[in-house]
Amino acid sequence: MKRLLIISLVVLLMAGCSISKEKSAVFPEDEFFLIGHRGASAYVPENTLASFALAEDLGADYIELDIHETKDGKLVVMHDKDVSRTTEGHGNIETFTLDELKSLSIVERKKDKETVLGPSESMAVPTLQEVFDQFGDSLNYVVELKNPSRYPNIEKKLVQQLEENDLIQKDKKGRPRAVIHSFSEKALQRVHKINPDIPLLQLISFDEGEEAELSKKKITKLLSYADGIGVSYEALTPPFVNYMHEKGLAVFAYTVNDPEVALRLQAMGLNGIHTDKPDLVEREK
Ligand code: G3P
Ligand code: CA
């Protein structure tokens, strides 16, 4: 009986630990992060080294990038699972080897105008490793697991790559070097199992016109693996943001390109925003 009581106590304590994460433990409370969404994608073709370089120049705290896996198992940076929108090629990424993908020109399609660029070092489909090699610790990273169910083991590969690049740690300002986010709850839970030290953000979409709201059950579940959420900014309200913070969950908003909206969200106490224009608000030098 006594043994059973001790075991129950240990289980309860462990459960308590997993739901008592403090926001401040992961993201410094007084900061408002500007996350360059697919780099500085309002100005330069998204998810290219050139786009990330501009995001860095414009003062982004993090760059956000989307990953997939090639036919020969390499992690590459692209938003869509299909290469057609952003390159001259056609077909799903997993049908291309890395060399084949690298040989594709990037195509910028704006209204009626199509511009073919590269392929060159900065204007091509990058591997995740090339991004880490080029920017090292001059930038921090938010990596999105995109369509993870298409790529068995992509979580394991990503964690391994973050570990190999010493990215599972904080920078000098106490910010996590690398964060993973995804709309896939399962993928994030898999990452959490592989390495519980990686900060995770659950992306959540709400219907147009709907105000953000989460049930107690959902929040308890989130707290068992995630450190925060990423939500479309239109759905956010001050009471919701406060409630998430009280529960120990950080709140990020996507995708904010209007300076007034950015300042309103900052005043609401958000932890940061994803933006295609990392220069949309002035930063203190
Ligand atoms: O910034 C969050 C965002 O990355 C999720 O949407 O479609 O731009 O990857 P998407
Ligand atoms: Ca993304």
Per-residue pLDDT tens digits for 59-118? 999 999 999 999 999 999 999 999 999 999 999 999 999 999 999 999 999 888 999 999
Q: How many CB atoms lie within 10 A of CB 218?
A: 13
Mean pLDDT confidence for 36-64: 98
- Asked which of 12-21, 80-89, 170-179 is least confident by mean pLDDT, the reply is 12-21
pTM: 0.91
90 classed as catalytic: no
Question: Within 13 A of 269's CA, how many CA atoms are on the CB side?
Answer: 15
User: Looking at 79, 181, 245, 274, which residue is catalytic?
Assistant: 79
How far, in Å, is the centroid of ligand 2 from the Cα of 229?
13
CB within 6 Å of ligand 1 — which residues? 37, 64, 66, 79, 144, 203, 230, 254-255, 274
CB burial of 151-163 (b: ≥16 within 10 Å; e: otherwise) equals: beebbebbbebbe
Are 36 and 115 within 8 A, CB to CB? no
Q: Which pLDDT tens digit goes with each residue over 110-142?
A: 888 999 999 999 999 999 999 999 999 999 999
274 classed as catalytic: no
Ligand closest in space to the Cα of 80: 1
Residues 6+ apart with CB under 8 A from 213: 240
Are 234 and 208 within 8 A, CB to CB? yes
**Average pLDDT in the chain:** 92
Q: Whose CA is nearest to atom 2 of ligand 1?
A: 254
What ligand 1 atom has the least distance to the C-alpha of 37? 1
Would you state the CATH architecture of domain 24-275?
Answer: Alpha-Beta Barrel (3.20)
